[in-house]
Chain A
């Protein structure tokens, strides 16, 4: 860290989630007045420097953004609330960016009958979030962790129900699943490392203010 920091002094490192959220986050930054080069949209690089804004962007898996920010290798980042709840990292969640809106839901096959279910099994990409939710509901379930295509689990009998994010509901419908419970709404958040929050306060406060203006269409209040 020591060596890299001397050359990147006062440079703001932003951790960005690859994939679905990326485009929306980039367009939000552009609206906030950040002059990001066009190669941002189709680059395969993992690190993109924008010297004129004195910023560096690192591109990671959405689930990993809070990890980079917690360890301070990125000062700030864009992470979904789903990831924040699942990862429980020690970072500041300062602003709701209100992008990539979706919600977390429980889904099952239409024939599923909870009363007939003796040992309920839940397949999910979010084991901690799901476990916490069902504990709060007073329901004892067994969690099976999957890494993607969660809808498959009830179709082949791996689990009875799933916990996953839903944005349009199309994937569920196409696979013949129905939503049984809506758990919580999810949006992307602007997150900040606790040390950077103080050591780079001016740059970060400026960024939060500019983003807040775009998001809230006015001041912070």
Chain B
């Protein structure tokens, strides 16, 4: 290994410079405000967790975890998501609190081992978890809140696709007879390999009806009415129950007037293996990657010895900010007071006055600048308080206080 150059960073690590920061901050606070209005309480969890608890529960693949050792030799991980740490708290510290619990977070998560640029290994996620409520209303609320937060943040052209892991699982097991074969097909769906899926269907000794059912599964994408096509595919009670879940969810979303923002996609199988029921992902036409998602994870809390239903969403702030792009006004410091020693007191009073009005003001000693003209162009208003006699000096356009 060669020594890194002074300016280099580890693969996947990014700096946030002031312009991007201010846009990110706007988005962050807009979402936080919206989430708070829906009654979610913010919490923070540590960056480091035990590998044996959060590392295994998070379902992020082992090769994607940042690992290190503490002084006792325990393996630690940088948290790869926030859902598992919140499940840990909900099942322990907060186990006595009233249910359902509504919690929100805004935190950096870490997924390592990017093989090339373009994908960060550390990124900020904003999300909510609704714990202890197994109803479709809870699922609907989480989706509606994500959509509302994205809209408030200024995202216009986006869609949310909704699937149901339970439906896919029961349908596959129902047709294929055993979990092992169903697993093969589930992996094809998760790997997005429809060609492999179709080939496998044609190779297995199945009845032509079952073949058609499996092929039809790949076509279950579209509006709310696609659920009727799905109904024709299921034959067991369990399958019908997952479909009932979806019907109820669709009713809730219709009540929120979200028919236009939501599509049904029953092939959506996500990599986070703790999901048990409905799952969803958000897509913007400005971006090649999903910028958020979530779902129901009724079995995760039992990994922390307390079985409870739960549902939630997470939005990737880095991707959302990228999707919003530069369409927003850039926030700049509007005033500068350039002063000399003799008038420092006066400059301070002027600054106080402007700051009390809610303006942002930079105070700059004139002796600290080398190129006065270049420096002053970054501000809307420049006040020069230079010289002994209290007279304006230089090309300042404003000295009105």
B212 CB-CB contact with A under 8 Å: yes
Q: What class of interface size applies to chain A in its complex with B?
A: 20 to 34
Return the contact of B288 from the options A72, A93, A189, A220 (Cβ within 8 A).
A72
B-contact 0/1 string along A177-221, CB 8 Å cutoff: 000000000000100011110110100000000000000000011
Interface residue total, chain B, C-beta cutoff 8 A = 29
Q: Is the CB of B327 within 8 A of A90?
A: no
Q: Please report the C-alpha to C-alpha distance between residue A199 and residue B156 in the assembled complex, in whole angstroms.
A: 13
Enumerate A116-157 residues with CB–CB distance to B below 8 Å. Answer: none
A71 CB-CB contact with B under 8 Å: yes
A162 CB-CB contact with B under 8 Å: no
Query: A95-B194, A221-B215 in contact; A198/B263 too (CB < 8 A)?
Result: yes
Q: Is the CB of B286 within 8 A of A2?
A: yes
Q: Please report the C-alpha to C-alpha distance between residue A221 and residue B159 in the assembled complex, in whole angstroms.
A: 29
Return the contact of B290 from the options A5, A70, A194 (Cβ within 8 A).
A194
B387 CB-CB contact with A under 8 Å: no
B285 CB-CB contact with A under 8 Å: yes
- In the complex, the number of residue pairs spanning A and B with C-beta atoms less than 8 Å apart equals 66
Residues of A within 8 A of B196 (CB): 93
Return the contact of B325 from the options A2, A70, A94, A220 (Cβ within 8 A).
A2
Minimal beta-carbon separation of A118 from chain B (angstroms): 29
Residues of B within 8 A of A92 (CB): 192, 194
Q: Please report the C-alpha to C-alpha distance between residue A95 and residue B196 in the assembled complex, in whole angstroms.
A: 9
| Nearest residue, chain B, Cβ from A97 | B195
Q: Is the CB of A93 within 8 A of B195?
A: yes
Q: Is the CB of B195 within 8 A of A94?
A: yes
Q: Please report the C-alpha to C-alpha distance between residue A95 and residue B192 in the assembled complex, in whole angstroms.
A: 11
Return the contact of B285 from the options A5, A91, A95 (Cβ within 8 A).
A5
| Nearest residue, chain B, Cβ from A10 | B285
Enumerate B136-191 residues with CB–CB distance to A below 8 Å. Answer: 157, 159, 161
Residues of A within 8 A of B290 (CB): 194-195
| Nearest residue, chain A, Cβ from B118 | A71
Q: Is the CB of A93 within 8 A of B192?
A: yes
Return the contact of A201 from the options B194, B221, B284 (Cβ within 8 A).
B221
Q: Please report the C-alpha to C-alpha distance between residue A71 and residue B327 in the assembled complex, in whole angstroms.
A: 21
B245 CB-CB contact with A under 8 Å: no
Residues of B within 8 A of A220 (CB): 215
Query: A1-B325, A221-B212 in contact; A72/B195 too (CB < 8 A)?
Result: no
A21 CB-CB contact with B under 8 Å: no
| Nearest residue, chain A, Cβ from B283 | A195
| Nearest residue, chain A, Cβ from B199 | A96
| Nearest residue, chain A, Cβ from B263 | A198
4 closest A-B pairs by beta carbon, nearest first, are: A72-B288, A2-B325, A92-B192, A195-B283
